[in-house]
A = this chain, B = another copy of it.
Amino acid sequence: MNTIENQNTIFPLGERTPAEYFTGKAYLKLLVEQDETGSYRVANVVFEPGSRTNWHTHAAGQILLITQGKGYYQEKGKAARLLTKGDTVIIPSQVEHWHGAAHDSSFTHIAITNNSTQGSVQWLTAVTDDEYYSCQENHGF
C-alpha cells in the first residue's frame, strides 16, 4: 500500500491537522506564511490513507497542486474528482467541498490559500463514511 512511510517526500511532514476538522490523520507544514503582497499563504498537506478534510469553504478560494499518491476533491452535489500527481484544482470562493486521500493510498498536495478579511476557511461537518466510500465506488472501488 502507498503509505506515508514510503511516499517520496519533498517537504517536511509538519504537524497533525486539528482533529475536529479532519477525519483520520493528516499533517500540515506551512511553507510560506505570507507572500510579498500579503495575498496568500502556502502549505504542504499529507493525508494518510482514508483521511480527509471536513466539508468547508474558502472565502477567497484555494489552489491545490497534487504531488504524490491518490485522492479526491468533491464539491457538494457533484461527483468526486479523482486526483493523482500532476493534477491541479482551482477551488472557487464559497463553494462547499472536501479533499483527502483514497482509502488505499496516501495523498499529498501543496495548498495555496488566499487570504480574506472574512477568514480564509470556514469549517463545516465531517465527510461521513457513506459520503466518502460512495464517491470512491464511482471510481471503481
Give A contacts to B, CB under 8 Å.
8-12, 31-32, 35-37, 39-40, 42, 60-63, 65, 67-68, 85-86, 88, 90-93, 110, 112, 114
Q: Copies per complex?
A: 2
Pair A65/B114 contact, Cβ less than 8 Å: no
Residues of B within 8 A of A114 (CB): 35-37, 39
Q: Which chain B residue has the least Cβ–Cβ distance from A39?
A: B39
* Given A42-B112, A88-B31, A112-B112, A67 contacting B36 (CB threshold 8 A): no
Residues of B within 8 A of A42 (CB): 63, 65, 88, 112
The contact of A61 among B8, B36, B60, B85, by CB within 8 Å, is B36
Known: A42-B88, A42-B112, A110-B110. 19 other contacts (CB 8 A): A10-B85, A10-B86, A31-B65, A35-B40, A36-B60, A36-B61, A36-B62, A36-B63, A36-B90, A36-B91, A36-B92, A36-B114, A37-B61, A39-B40, A39-B114, A40-B40, A40-B112, A42-B63, A65-B110
Residues of B within 8 A of A11 (CB): 65, 86
A8, A10, A63, A114 pick with most chain B CB within 10 angstroms: A10
Residues of B within 8 A of A91 (CB): 36
